[in-house]
Structure 1
């Protein structure tokens, strides 16, 4: 399987310290909480 690179830009405030861990095959994975001030309403009003 070919490897590819995905890039994402997130804008907001971290809600906790990032948590870096590794999968069993050694791939790094980072988990973090992100808060934004953007709100929206669906077509059904929710």
Structure 2
């Protein structure tokens, strides 16, 4: 079984990239925002959720090279 998630958002800061003996690891935070209408008032509400990401191997190298 494979679980897959696609997150779209904005990085909170530059990734923290570390070169370890086992390979490259990058840590970063991603903010995704959801907009919905409040049922009682009819006003648009905004909810931001922060995600902690850990990238390994080639993905971490891409984060190091392009951010």
- Give the TM-score, by structure 1 length: 0.50
Greater share of helix: 2
TM-score (norm 2): 0.37
